[in-house]
Amino acid sequence: SKIMFCLIFAPLGDKAGKTDFSPVKETRTLCFKAALFLGLLSFLLLAVVVTVSVLCKCSPQHDNLTCPVGWRKFGCRCYLLSSWKNTWEQSKYQCSRNGADLMFLKELGDQLKFWIGLQYTTPEKGWKWVDGSSLTNSHFRTQGCAALNSFRLWSRSWSKETCSMMLHWVCEKQASPSGLLQ
């Protein structure tokens, strides 16, 4: 209703080109501010919708997704935290036996260390995630495997370790619709 008022009763000026009529100028300023506010509000709403859809890449049946016994569900993923220690290769094998991979973090971030799905094999290949994608912005340039030192992702608390070191590990896989556990 006020926007309609702005569109109808806020002329650009009279025919002589004079635009300094104060009530009209104030109305136009108010209309401009209202339009700007609504535009920014629309943009903010769009940004929130896009962000939520990107962060929650789950299907509409998100609540119906389940994880196997002993696994923890977070969002659309299932996680298994080991209770024993293995080397990186043994940990990767244990995860694959369960249809999972070592935990996979694109954004790296208590002092317990867990194996994650990142390994440096050769200078030509560099650091690779278990899905084959490359790590970007790595400050490590030597062989090794990656371990998570903390579950506080904002602390970037991860380190390069010898792959034969015995550490706990975390498996990750997609959650399944109810009744279709993998």
Model confidence pLDDT, tens digit, residues 113-167: 567 778 877 777 777 888 888 876 665 556 677 776 655 554 556 677 788 889 8
CB 146, CB 92: distance < 8 Å:
no
Q: In three state form, how does the secondary structure of 150-177 look?
A: CCCHHHCCEEEECCCCCEEEEEEEECEE
Model confidence pLDDT, tens digit, residues 5-55: 444 444 555 555 555 556 667 777 777 777 766 666 565 556 555 555 545
Q: Which residues contact 31 (CB under 8 A, 6 or more apart)?
A: 3, 5, 6, 7, 10
Angle, helices 22-55 vs 2-9, to 10°: value is 130
Roughly how many angstroms between the first and final C-alpha of the chain, as a whole number? 56
pTM of the predicted protein model: 0.49
Give counts: helices (H), strands (E), the chain.
3, 10
Taking Cα atoms as reference points, which of 123, 82, 131 lies closest to residue 104? 131
How do 168-174 and 158-161 pair as beta strands? unpaired
Mean pLDDT within 93-97: 95
AA identity, residue 104: F
CB 101, CB 112: distance < 8 Å:
no
- Measured at the CA of 164, the angle between CA 162 and CA 170, to 5 degrees, comes to 90
